[in-house]
Amino acid sequence: MTGHDLLHQLQLDRHPLVRTGACREPGWIVSENPSAGEAIASARLADRIAFDAAVASASQRFRTWRMAPAPKRGEIVRLIGLALREKREALGELISLEMGKIRAEGIGEIQECIDICDFAVGLSRQLYGMTTHSERPRHRMYEQWHPLGVIGIITAFNFPAAVWAWNAMIAAVCGDTMVWKPSLLTPLTAIALHETVESVMRRHDLEGVFELVIGTDEQVGEAMIRDRRLPLISATGSCRMGRHVGQVVAARLGRTLLELGGNNALIICDDADLDLAVRAVVFGAVGTTGQRCTTTRRLFVQRGVAEEVVSRLKRAYETILPRIGDPLDPKTLMGPMIHANAVETMMKAIETAKRQGGEILFGGKRLDRPGHFVEPAIIRATASLPIIREETFAPILYVIEFDDLDEAIAQQNSVDQGLSSAIFTDSVRRAERFLSHAGSDCGIANVNIGTSGAEIGGAFGGEKDTGGGRESGSDAWKAYMRRQTCTINWGEDLPLAQGIEFE
C-alpha cells in the first residue's frame, strides 16, 4: 500500500472527515500538496459542539482506562505499534505528500511512532515511585504516581505524526486519555494515523482513549486551552503561540508542556573531523527543508578552518540543487516548503540579512516551478546581525567565525531560544567545557553529532523561549501523571512530625 492508496481507501470508505478534491463549502478545509500547489483532499472541521463531545467521550473513557493495570494498557499500545508497522510506508508517504518532507524522512517519522510505542510498552512496567524513611517511628512513607486525566495535545505541521505519538503513547500507558488538535496544514495525515490507531481500539471496545478534533484556533484551540477538564495541555509550535497557551492555561492553574522554537547552533573547532562536521551541518540545515525545530540555523566556525568548511559546504550544497523536487522520488534530498507564505518569509529574511551586512555565499532563490521550492541558502554573518537572533523556519544557514571557544558558546547562548546545540571537536577538554554548567544552555547538547535527529530514549525539549517542556524518553512520563505522597502509621501512637507536642 502507498500513501495514495491509503488516502484512496479513506475516500472509498466514505470516511466522515474526508472528501475528494477541494471542498469549498463552509466547515471544510483543503489540504494541498506543497510539491504541486494543488489540492489533495478536504477535511471536515470540528466546531465547539464537536470539541465538547470529544472531551466528554475522553472523560468518560478515562474513568475505566485509568483502572486498567499499566501493563495491560501497555499491551494495547503494543498492538498499536504493530498496526503502525503494517502501514509504515503508506503513512510515511502520506506525510511526504501532504507535508513535503522526503520519503525517507516521512517513513522515518512513522518509525519514530513505532519506536515510541515500543518504549511505552516497557515503560508500562516501570512507572516507579520511591520509599522514603519517615522521621516518625513505625511509619512508612512513599510516593506513587496516578493517571492525570484527559490530556490536550496540539501539534505542528512539520512532524504531523511523531510529536503526537511522543505524547499519546506515553500518556496512554500512564492511564490518561487525550484529545488531539493537529495542524490544519496536515489534517489528512492526522486522520489516517488516527484511523489506524482506532482500528485497534475498536477491536477492544476502547473508543475514547484517543480523540481527534480537527478545528481552527478560534473554534477548538481556544476552547481546548481554556477547558478545566484538560489538566495538561501539551503544545508544539511557535514561541508566540506558546506564550499565549502558557498564559491562558496558567490562569486556570493548569499544566503546560511546551515545545516551541529552536534557533539552534553548531560549533566547529579547528581540531574537528571536518568530514563528520560538514555532513552533520548539511543534514541539520537542509533536512526537512529547514522546517525542523532542531534545524541547524547558526554555524560558528573557528577562524583557522572557516574557509575550508565554507568551501566544503558549498560543494555539498551544489550536489543538492539537482535533487530538489518531488519528495516521493527516492532520489530527492530536499522537498518543498510547506506553503507560499513560508517561501515569502524566507525571501524576506534573506533580504533583511543582506541589508544588515550579511553576504550570500550560496543559493537563497525561489525556484521557478510548480510548488513551493527554494534553494537552500548559506549566508556569511557576524554575531551582531539582528536577523540571526530570529528563527526563520527555512533552509537558511548563517556562518559566523570565532577565535575563542568561550566566545562561541556565549554567542550560541545569546539568543532567546534554547533547544538543540552541538560541537565538533576532538578535544576532551573542549567537549566537556561545552557540556559543563558554563557551556551550552540548551535542553539538547551534542558532541560530534548534529543538532537534528534526536532519539526517542532521551527527554526531548529545551529551555528559555523553547518552553521548558520535555517529551518522549527518560522520565518525561512524569508530566502526564500526578504525584502523591503517602504515609502509613502502623504503630499504636500518633507522633507528630518535627517533634511537635499537642496533648
The residues carrying an active-site annotation are 259, 293
H helices present in 361-415, as ranges: 405-413
Q: Is 376 helix (H, G, I), strand (E, B) or coil?
A: coil
Closest CA to 324 of 279, 254, 371: 371
Rg (CA), the chain: 24
Q: DSSP per residue over 58-123, as a string?
A: HHHHHHHHTTS-HHHHHHHHHHHHHHHHHTHHHHHHHHHHHH---HHHHHHHHHHHHHHHHHHHHH
Closest CA to 160 of 98, 205, 72: 98
Tell me the residue ranges of DSSP E strands in 315-389.
359-362, 377-380
Task: Report the distance separating Cα 311 and Cα 295, nearest Å.
Answer: 21
- Write the burial class of residue 24 (CB in 10 Å: 0-12 exposed, 13-18 middle, 19+ buried): exposed
User: What is the identity of the amino acid at 130?
Assistant: M
Pairing status of strand 420-424 against strand 444-447: parallel
Contact 7, 196 (CB under 8 A): no
Contact 302, 269 (CB under 8 A): yes
Task: Report the distance separating Cα 266 and Cα 450, nearest Å.
Answer: 7
Task: Report the distance separating Cα 288 and Cα 75, nearest Å.
Answer: 33
- Indicate the angle between helix axes 162-173 and 70-86, nearest 10 degrees: 150
Contact 130, 143 (CB under 8 A): yes
Task: Report the distance separating Cα 433 and Cα 302, nearest Å.
Answer: 16
H helices present in 140-181, as ranges: 162-173
